């Protein structure tokens, strides 16, 4: 079993421009989806994943979306083994097949991906016309920083998951270098909006709850550099939490309902008081995802269910 190597991490330390469609109303639109990774046995997909893909395809055509942010756990339960793994076709290409979704997919790794070969997922980006692996990218309107939270905090194997908090990163040296790089990306950000994404939550009320490593180290940076929002998956629900620190406001969105949906509030007492603004989850539901619409005056985040119904919406203003 090959895990994410330092060499593979180094490949992510590059800056790319996002090609974004600006619509007639002045908005750039893109989808956010997490924990969408199908099944390791036939049919290699779930009803929720199929329903979410159909909704994204329909809305993507209507709204002229530009790209997707994929927040990890791309292939349940043990990632992929090589760049030719058939799961790329069965769980990704053949499911998210709508013409409107043949736009870039900016992908990060989740804990289930780390059980397999994350380097193979990165290499797949070289042969796919839409699947791109990178940690940082920018437009004039939005700066994006996408993180591998397993490298930063640990949690890449089953024994790690059994510890709360996580035991720590596999390599302290690599993690520390990564933290320094993360802060440098935040420091360089001058766009009106800064979106930071990772697989593990900073805050969540559900099964896994807050990630202490991220609460302790990432949260202060998000406030210091006035990030607009942190997007994550890991818990299989849709959540919006918000919190203030040192006079700055921060939004946290859990978007982990692409493949499995659960109703779990085990960690409701472990998040700041009154921070939970919205929660959606339940075993009989068929999945949901996020939609972000951004222009020069505001950024709107919407949770969408498989029926294309808007469940919840909130508006964020430019950082400065």
- Binding positions for Fe cation are 35, 73, 76, 111, 199, 234, 236
Q: In angstroms, rounded to a whole number, what is the distance separating the alpha carbons of residues 91 and 130? A: 15
Dig out the tokens for 71 from the structure. Answer: 């927040």
CB 143 within 8 A of CB 195: yes
Least Cα distance to 21 among 108, 83, 100 occurs for 100
DSSP letters spanning 31-87? EEE-S----SSTT-S-HHHHHHHHHHHHHHHHHT---EEE-S--STTT--SSTT-TH
For residue 317, count other CB atoms closer than 10 A to its CB. 12
What is the crossing angle of helices 212-224 and 172-188, to 10°? 20
- Is residue 124 helix, strand or coil? helix
Rounded to whole angstroms, how far apart are CA atoms 243 and 228? 12
CA distance 297 to 318: 7
Residues flagged as binding site: 35, 73, 76, 111, 199, 234, 236
Q: Where are the beta strands (DSSP E) in the chain?
A: 15-17, 28-33, 68-70, 105-107, 131-133, 136-138, 142-146, 193-197, 229-232, 238-245, 248-255, 276-280, 288-294, 299-305, 310-316
């Amino acid at each position: 079993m090959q895990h994410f190597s330092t060499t593979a991490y180094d490949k992510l330390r590059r800056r790319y421009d996002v090609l974004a469609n600006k619509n007639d109303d002045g908005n750039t639109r893109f989808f956010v989806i997490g924990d969408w990774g199908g099944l390791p046995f036939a049919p290699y997909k779930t009803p929720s994943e199929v329903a979410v893909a159909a909704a994204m395809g329909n809305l993507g055509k209507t709204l002229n979306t530009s790209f997707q942010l994929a927040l990890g756990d791309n292939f349940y339960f043990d990632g992929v083994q090589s760049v030719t793994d058939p799961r790329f076709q069965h769980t990704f290409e053949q499911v998210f097949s709508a013409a409107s979704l043949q736009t870039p997919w900016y992908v990060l790794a989740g804990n289930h991906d780390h059980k397999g070969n994350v380097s193979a997922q990165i290499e797949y980006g070289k042969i796919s016309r839409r699947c791109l692996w990178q940690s940082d990218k920018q437009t004039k309107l939005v700066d994006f920083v996408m993180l591998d939270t397993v490298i930063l905090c640990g949690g890449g194997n089953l024994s790690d998951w059994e510890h709360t908090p996580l035991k720590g990163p596999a390599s302290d040296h690599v993690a520390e270098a990564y933290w320094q790089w993360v802060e440098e990306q935040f420091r360089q950000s001058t766009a009106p909006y800064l979106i930071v994404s990772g697989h593990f939550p900073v805050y969540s009320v559900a099964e896994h709850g807050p990630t202490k490593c991220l609460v302790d180290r990432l949260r202060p940076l998000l406030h210091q550099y006035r990030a607009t929002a942190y997007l994550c998956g890991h818990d299989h629900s849709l959540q919006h939490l918000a919190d203030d620190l040192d006079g700055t406001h921060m939004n946290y969105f859990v978007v982990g309902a692409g493949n499995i949906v659960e109703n779990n509030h085990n960690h409701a007492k472990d998040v700041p008081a009154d921070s939970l603004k919205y929660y959606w989850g339940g075993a009989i539901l068929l999945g949901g995802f996020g939609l972000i619409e951004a222009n020069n005056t505001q950024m709107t985040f919407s949770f969408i269910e498989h029926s294309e119904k808007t469940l919840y919406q909130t508006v964020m203003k430019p950082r400065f």
